[in-house]
Amino acid sequence: MGRSISVIIPVRDSESTIEKCLTSIKALNYPQENIEIIVIDDGSNDNTPNILKNINGIKILHTAGIGPSSARNLGIKEATGEFIAFTDADCIVGKNWINGLLKGFTSEDIASVGGNQLSPDDESPFGHRVQIFLKIMGFLGGYTKWAKNIVETRHNPTCNSMYRKSIFDKIGNFDEKLWPGEDVDIDYRIRKAGLKIVYNPEAIVYHYRPNSLLKFASMMYRYGKSSGGYLTRKLGFYRLLSFEPIFLFIYILTVILLFIANIWWGIFSIIAGILGITLFLVVKGGIRHLPINLMLFFTTIKFWNIGFITGFFTYRKNLKRAKN
């Protein structure tokens, strides 16, 4: 008899993907009687609620825009499984997704296991390029990975992760002040408690990505804002070490200082930086895709750092208002 699994999916306005997501879970190569599917419809305004009503064998919870972190916590309270698996409404899980995640729990000190992200067959051309770019960059903090075997890691995103349910009793649930970044925070707490997080590339989800540059820039802005606000203040230097864009921001400041000291040193540092970035993207992504990879790279740096600065100062203002 297999282990009991609760699959939790927060959803909002995902009419184009939620049915594909749930259909893939029902097609898993794992006993369906051991899988509990909990969907939290967090105030959808599109056809998502009607789609959910017509799908049998799922538990639907309705909320009014409480956010993904709170929605996941609500799912955890309802869950009855020994293990809790998370994915997103814009993901299609592979047939061996559950088996791959369970395979990573090789010892009792492993609290969580995550897996690989690939592009769906019907992904948009731009979304497919975003997926490749994220893979090249490792999403500047381990969001995507190159490992081909089971390895210990610092973080797995909640679009593809599984936790022992008992771990939430030990370290608490997701921080509801955070999104995105709530999964980074909980993985940090797991490691701080002396437990391990593992990555298994055999556990696959097919993740739809932003299908336009504007949506990609918006995603990067959200990640930066979350990092610059509550998350960085909560985790401190650990968070800064988890995101390379902050180091590129420091590099830009260094270039400015070099310009002030000596214009030729400033020019040299700019040329060296651009050549280094270009060489890296050519080696990882090939010369043919260099233009779009450069565009995505500089979009990431620009909007992540704008979001970071916005989040940093917005959080300070919110703290002052709370005290008053």
Token pair 């909640």: residue? 158
Token pair 């990505």: residue? 209
Q: What is the pLDDT of residues 267-315, one digit of tens each?
A: 666 666 667 677 767 766 667 778 888 888 889 888 887 888 787 777 6
Extract the tokens encoding 98.
Answer: 């559950």
Question: In sequence order, which residues have a C-beta less than 8 Å from that of residue 27 and are 6 or more positions away?
Answer: 95
Asked if residue 236 has pLDDT above 80, the reply is: no
Instruction: State how far the Cα of 296 lies from the Cα of 298, in Å rounded to an integer.
Output: 6
Quick check: helix, strand or coil at residue 60?
Answer: strand
Beta carbons within 10 angstroms of residue 18's beta carbon: 25
* pTM: predicted TM-score of the whole model, two decimal places: 0.81
CA-nearest of 144, 284, 283 to 207 is: 144
Q: What is the pLDDT of residues 54-88, one digit of tens each?
A: 998 899 999 988 888 899 999 999 999 999 999 99
In a 13 Å sphere around the CA of 81, the CA atoms on its Cβ side amount to 26
Domains of the chain: 5-211 (3.90.550.10), 223-323 (no CATH)
